[in-house]
Chains A and B, each alone.
Chain A
């Protein structure tokens, strides 16, 4: 396994003390695999991604285990983590305008990790940066390299950030909502680019998104998170076609589907999304869930397996498929 996460928990400091935002999270990623991580705001998906990069906010406590290429990352010195980051593990953010330095030329920013991790001279690194910009199919790569970020379109900036991320041939790329701020036509092109890079270099990718449909077309497996906990995980096909967790089902049914009659009633999820509850017992979705029974509020649901790595954390998992 390239990455093995077990019993990961993240507590962030708030005014009222520590709050657990990711809890008992375990999953793994094989070499070259595409893993989708889906959930609504507050589900803990972004915090999980940041924990993998060692980029949790100041004062956050990370516990459990994250093994990457056999090496434990939880508790790793920042110096050692910095060696990995941008080299073996890289990240693509939602808004390249905030992730890129507005005052530096794009080429110099793409070149930086190459100088840091590959000890290339400035000149070599800049030449390589132009190749990388061409590789992510930016028209006129030399011009793009000389440009400042503001002179590029949103799609071009995202390509530049991808070029920066793949420069050192990372084995794992974490993309947090990489296309959310983009037009759908640009989104389709960027996702196609990421697919292409993944298949040619066998890098694994974690694609974090609020949109199940984005994950559906571009990942092998999916993790559905809610209130800091993995509710369901498994092969994308299985989870989308036969969801075994009421939360996954609710997410699928809340979307207006193509071809559905206009104004058809969408299913809603009552009440507001729960925040992570830390160590409290019971299922975090209890109460909002239509299948809630007494035990859901009192006992943390077990993981129920449905073959081929498809797992649902629900007391009534066996009934979910039947209701559909």
Chain B
């Protein structure tokens, strides 16, 4: 249809109104998204990683036009989703589908697989019964299930098969974009592998591009060419996935990489390995956030944003071992770092 990006997200801001009562009221005023922009090219799956509260699931909902941002826009194949009339939005939605984390919760146990898988077709309208059956069959076969499975109920399948049913449902409208929010984190390792293989196949053979949201760096690296790291509603680093995880430029990306359990080494308690770097900074007379460094394994306080975070500083400043005065005063913007498509929002990126 167009030569431009498949999905373009620009300057998204979203703040959920707090209910105004109870001890959480004030902290909820922090925006879930504080100006997020990126674009996804057709055929190049895009990953988003970050911890809970980073805004990644809010972003998914807005990208699918399931929720409206306070400001900013989303374009799918050049069409601005929030400016479309309702009927056209419905039709456009058929080009994007969603896979959820929990294959049990997202399938109605009383319905037969055929009805579950065919459900998104209703949004298209005007699909004949024969065509519907044909598409259900094709969709089930595309995910490695049998056409005869259409007459069964969800409980007759294993966990991995149920996730396949959810994927078959997402594929039935032949979408260009599939948003997958933690699609494998509820699955056993062996079943995870089947689902990831299936996603790779669909990207290669069915032309599906994934927007994959996960806390698991290995899963994202397995599927996505480009990945954005989110922290407190902002993208702090964005780049080619493998290169970024091999050599993070943002201290938060490095914290994530170091914290990821690996078979070949113990996980690092945060920042232990930074001792020599921090010592060198102190030597140079730089102010170092030694509170973070000394406490090491202490739980950072969540919820209560410190003054630095609510004001103009870097959102990561209270957790960053390398924070210097400038980081408290001025929020870094996402900027290209020495060519190569890597962008980082940090005044003092790691080498």
Residues of A within 8 A of B (CB): 40-41, 137-140, 151, 153-156, 159, 183-189, 191-193, 196, 210-214, 216-218, 240, 250-252, 254-260, 262-269, 272-273
Spell out B's residues near A (CB within 8 Å).
23, 51-52, 158-161, 188-190, 192-194, 196-197, 200, 203-204, 215-219, 221-225, 241-242, 245-246, 255-256, 258-270, 295-303
Contact A139 B218 (CB under 8 A): no
Q: B297 touches which one: A137, A259, A273 (CB < 8 A)?
A: A137
Q: How far, in whole Å, are A250 and B256 apart by their CA atoms in the complex?
A: 27
Chain B min CB distance to A216 (Å):
5
Cβ of B300: which chain A residues have Cβ within 8 Å of it?
139
Given contacts A185-B270, A216-B261, A256-B218, contact A263 B246 (CB under 8 A): no
- Complex Cα gap A251–B219 (Å): 15
Nearest opposing residue in chain A for B196, CB measure: A266
Bound CA span A273–B187, Å: 12
CA A263 – CA B210 in complex, angstroms? 13
Q: Given known contacts A217-B267, A255-B189, A258-B262, is B222 in contact with A153 (CB within 8 Å)?
A: no
Pair B222/A260 contact, Cβ less than 8 Å: yes
Q: Complex: how many Å from CA A188 to CA B52?
A: 15
**B192 partner residues in chain A, CB cutoff 8 A:** 254-255
In the assembled complex, the Cα of A126 lies from the Cα of B51 at a distance in Å of 33
User: Which B residues lie within 8 Å of A138 (CB)?
Assistant: 298-299
Interface centre among A138, A151, A255, A259 (most CB of B within 10 A): A255
Are B245 and A258 closer than 8 Å at their CB atoms? Answer: yes
Q: Are B246 and A196 neighbours in the complex by a CB distance under 8 Å?
A: no
Shortest beta-carbon distance from A199 to chain B in Å: 13
Contact A255 B160 (CB under 8 A): no
A256 contacts across to B, CB distance below 8 A: 193, 196, 218-219, 221-222
Number of A-B contacts (CB under 8 A): 150
Neighbouring A residues of B256 by C-beta, 8 Å: 184-185
Point out the residue from A40, A186, A188, A259 that lies within 8 Å of B246, measured CB to CB: A259
Are B302 and A153 in touch, CB under 8 angstroms?
yes
Query: Which has the most chain A C-beta neighbours within 10 Å: B51, B194, B295, B298?
Result: B298
Contact: B190 with A214, CB < 8 Å? no
When C-beta atoms are compared, the residue in chain B nearest to A215 turns out to be B261
Question: If A139-B301, A153-B303, A184-B51 touch, does A263 touch B260 (CB 8 Å cutoff)?
Answer: no
Q: Contacts A153-B302, A262-B241 known; A188 to B193 CB distance under 8 Å? A: no
Asked if A187 meets B303 with Cβ closer than 8 Å, knowing A254-B193, A256-B196, A268-B197, the reply is no
CB distance from A85 to the nearest CB of B (A): 27
Chain B residue, CB-CB nearest to A189? B297
| Contact status B297-A196, CB under 8 Å | yes
Residues of chain B within 8 A of A40, CB atoms compared: 188-190
A-B contacts, 13 listed (Cβ < 8 Å): A153-B303, A154-B52, A155-B299, A155-B302, A184-B216, A192-B267, A213-B261, A213-B262, A254-B189, A256-B193, A262-B222, A262-B242, A266-B196
Question: Taking A184-B215, A185-B255, A256-B218 as contacts, is the C-beta distance between A251 and B190 under 8 angstroms?
Answer: yes
* Bound CA–CA A259/B262 (angstroms): 12
Q: A185-B255, A268-B194 are in contact. List 16 more A-B contacts (CB 8 A).
A: A137-B295, A156-B299, A183-B52, A185-B259, A185-B270, A188-B269, A210-B189, A213-B261, A217-B262, A255-B193, A256-B218, A257-B263, A262-B223, A262-B224, A266-B196, A273-B190
> Could you say which residues of chain A place their CB within 8 Å of the CB of B189?
40, 210-211, 251, 254-255
> Is A218 within 8 A of B266, CB to CB?
yes
Among A41, A155, A266, the residue within 8 A (CB) of B193 is A266
Residues of A with C-beta under 8 A to B196:
256, 266
Whether B51 contacts A186 by the Cβ 8 Å rule is yes
A212 to chain B: closest residue by CB: B263
State how many angstroms separate the Cβ of B30 from the closest Cβ of chain A. 14
Q: A185-B51, A211-B261 are in contact. Are A262 and B225 (CB under 8 A)?
A: yes
Whether A265 pairs with B259 at a CB distance below 8 angstroms is no
Residues on A with beta carbons closer than 8 Å to the beta carbon of B259: 184-185, 187-188
Pair A153/B299 contact, Cβ less than 8 Å:
yes
> Within 8 Å CB of B295, what residues of A?
137
Contact A187 B267 (CB under 8 A): yes
Complex Cα gap A251–B263 (Å): 12
Contact of A258 with B218 in the complex, beta carbons under 8 Å: yes
